[in-house]
Amino acid sequence: MDIEAAKMIGAGLAVIGLGGVGAGIGHIFASLISSISRNPASRPQVFPMSMLGFALVEAVALYALLISFLILFL
């Protein structure tokens, strides 16, 4: 197979993992909304943890993107 075609296919396969990341971010914010609506006073404690969780999940998205770019361009 042509190496350029293989790179394109590999880059496309690498970003399939982003589907899981979308589900993960939605899960974090769903639990944030439901926990704040159950107990609005817990907001100052829960919100920073949710921001940390969101950034950690988004990092996985960027790892997948990084690997895709590495396959495509290196």
Partner 1 sequence: MADPLHQFEIHPVVHIPLGEVNASLTNSGVAMLAATIAITLFMTLSMRGRALVPGRWQSLAELTYEFIGNMVRDNVGKEGRPYFPFVLSLFMFILFGNLLGLLPYSFTFTSHIIVTFAMALMVFLGVTVIGIIRHGFHFFSFFMPKGVPAVMLPLMIPIEVVSYLSRPVSLSIRLFANMMAGHTMMKVFAGFVFSLGLFGFAPLAVDVALTAFEVMVAFLQAYVFTVLTCLYLNDTIHLH
> What minimum distance in Å lies between the beta carbon of 22 and partner 1?
16
- In the bound state with partner 1, the residue whose beta carbon lies nearer, of 30 and 56, is 56
| Chain centroid to CA 51 | 13
Min dist CB 37 to partner 1, Å, is: 23
63 binds partner 1 (CB under 8 A): yes
Handedness of CA 52, 53, 56, 58 (dihedral sign): negative
Distance CA 15, CA 30 (A): 24
**Residues at the contact surface with partner 1, assessed by CB under 8 A:** 48, 51-52, 54-56, 58-59, 62-63, 65-66
